[in-house]
Amino acid sequence: MPNQTCVRCGWVWEIHLSRNVHESCESCRTRKQYKVRDCIVWHGNFDTDLTTPIDSDGNPLLPGLRKCGNSDCVSPAHIERNK
C-alpha cells in the first residue's frame, strides 16, 4: 500500500487509493475549538514537557502565561507577556 506524508506535521500513514487522498493528516485537518474561549490551538511541535509550543528551531513560541488556561493556545490576546 502507498504511503502519504502530511505536509504540515510530517506524519506518514498508509493510504487507500479508493478513498479520498488528503495532503494533511486527520489531526491537522481537524478544527479544534474551545466552547467558551476564542483560542488558537497550536498544531506544531511541543517541548519535552508536551505542553509548551515550540517553533522549528526548538524555541518556545509566544512565551508567557496563557490567560485562558490552555497551554497549547497561541492567540496573542490570551498571552500575558513577562515584563
Q: Do 23 and 54 have their domain in common?
A: no
* Cell numbers for 15: 493510504
| Residues 6-53 pLDDT 10s | 887 778 888 877 667 778 877 777 765 555 568 888 888 888 888 888
- The reported pLDDT for the residue numbered 35 is 54
Instruction: Tell me the three state secondary structure of residue 23.
Output: coil
pTM value? 0.50
Q: Do 57 and 46 have their domain in common?
A: yes
Beta bridge partners of 12: 5
Task: Output 63 or 22, whichever has higher pLDDT.
Answer: 63
Q: How many CB atoms lie within 10 A of CB 73?
A: 22
Q: Do 48 and 83 have their domain in common?
A: yes
Q: Where are the beta strands (DSSP E) in the chain?
A: 3-5, 12-14, 65-66, 79-80
- The reported pLDDT for the residue numbered 72 is 84
Counted domains in the chain: 2
Q: Which amino acid is at 81?
A: R
Q: Do 38 and 58 have their domain in common?
A: yes
